[in-house]
Structure 1
Amino acid sequence: MSGAFAQQADTAPNDFEQPIRVKSDEQFVDAKMKTSVFEKNVMIRQGSLLINAEYVKVDAINGKGKEVFTIKGLPASYTQRLADGSNVEARARQIIYDIGTRTIALEGDAELIQNASTVKGDSIIFDMQKEQMRAQGNSGNDEQVETIFTPESSDDEGEPKGSVSNSQGNEPE
């Protein structure tokens, strides 16, 4: 994991203790199967965590506090304020938010932005509790994971902001 993503990944205080609110144009609940489906203009909020999508399925079969949200959009997006006041942002065609493990899995054209760094890949898993991120490229298309570090702007002497691109394949750990 890059140093930029290792820093300050704590979420805003009490986010995970807040109720999860879901708004949508349409909702369907199957109490027997313990699933809910939300469609069209879906917005999920839990403290500072905000997810926007077109389709969300919530599987609550494992009980309260262990729900799994399968979120789809073109793209679906996720934003959360960190303890230091900065935001982490993500987008992908599909996001799986696992309440029990406090992980966000981004699948399909995945992108995660934190501080001045951006990671792009076919899939990214962000563990909010362990402060860890793992990304994979799409080996079928020879697409690698790309990390972009954007340095902070220097003093007011007019030096431009730059970026460094670091494409990485499957490196041993």
Structure 2
Amino acid sequence: MKTKLLIAAVFFSSQALAATKPDHTLPIAINADNTEASIRDNIAVYVNNVEVTQGSLLIKADKLEINASAGKGNEVFIFTGRPATYSQLLEGDRPVTAQANEIRYDLASRTLTLTADAELTQSGSLVRGDVIRYNIELQQLTAGSEQNRRVTTIFTPETKENQ
């Protein structure tokens, strides 16, 4: 009986430890209906029902092109869709979600660039614009718009229930 309890305790504590590792240190898993790759050019293309996970990070798109020509750890993921979507739990289990017609994920800088009908939601607040750049690690963003359109930001006040 003691052995079973010890094994269970070790198993659950290792699961808790794994859950606390930062997403960017975990493996990236890609699922799609179809894939093509040029090993010589270090480019891979995934098409239809694309899902990429890395810990709590989840990006869904119609198409994904990965350019790995800059070497391991410097890959650039370009997701396209109508829209492509991103979600992740950040420190303190705070969710962040985003969507755009194109999401560019630069692994080296851990930066998302959302282009065309872009929007990002975090802590109940929403930012909309033509281009949003979001540094996942620093949780910093810049947003801009073109053609006389403006960036829209909507802050949701905290209620007593949320405090």
Please confirm whether the aligned pair reaches a TM-score higher than 0.5, indicating the same fold: yes
Task: Please say if residues 79 and 87 of structure 1, whose CA atoms lie closer than 8 Å, have aligned partners that are also in contact.
Answer: yes
Q: Percent identity?
A: 39
Matched residues in 1 for 2:87 and 2:21: separation? 15
Pick the aligned partner of 2:56 from 48, 60, 71.
Answer: 48
Tell me the TM-score normalized by structure 1.
Answer: 0.79
* Distance (whole Å) between structure 1 residues aligned to residue 115 and residue 21 of structure 2: 27
Show CA shifts across 1:34-72 (max 9, x none): 000000000000111000000000000011111000100
Aligned to 1:143: 149
1:27 aligns with 2:35: yes
Q: How does 1:70-109 map to 2 (within 5 A)?
A: 70-109=78-117
List 4+ stretches of structure 1 deviating above 4 A.
Answer: none
**2:60 counterpart SS class:** strand
1:66 maps to what in 2? 74
Q: Output the amino acid matched with 2:95.
A: N
Counterpart Cα distance in 1 of 2:88 and 2:160: 27
Higher percent of residues as helix: 2
* 1:13–1:83 Cα contact (<8 Å) kept: no
Tell me the distance in 2 between the aligned counterparts of 1:147 and 1:136. 11
CA apart distance, 1:132: 1.1
Q: Rg larger in 1 or in 2? A: 2
- 1:152 and 2:152 aligned: no
* CA RMSD, 1 decimal: 1.1
CA deviation profile, 1:77-97 (whole Å, cap 9, x unmatched) = 000101111200000000000
CA distance in 2, matches of 1:13, 1:127: 18
In structure 1, stretches of 5+ residues that fail to align are 1-11, 156-173
Distance across 1 between alignment mates of 2:68 and 2:100: 23
Q: Which amino acid aligns with 2:80?
A: K
Q: Which has the higher contact order (CA 8 A, sep 6+)?
A: 1
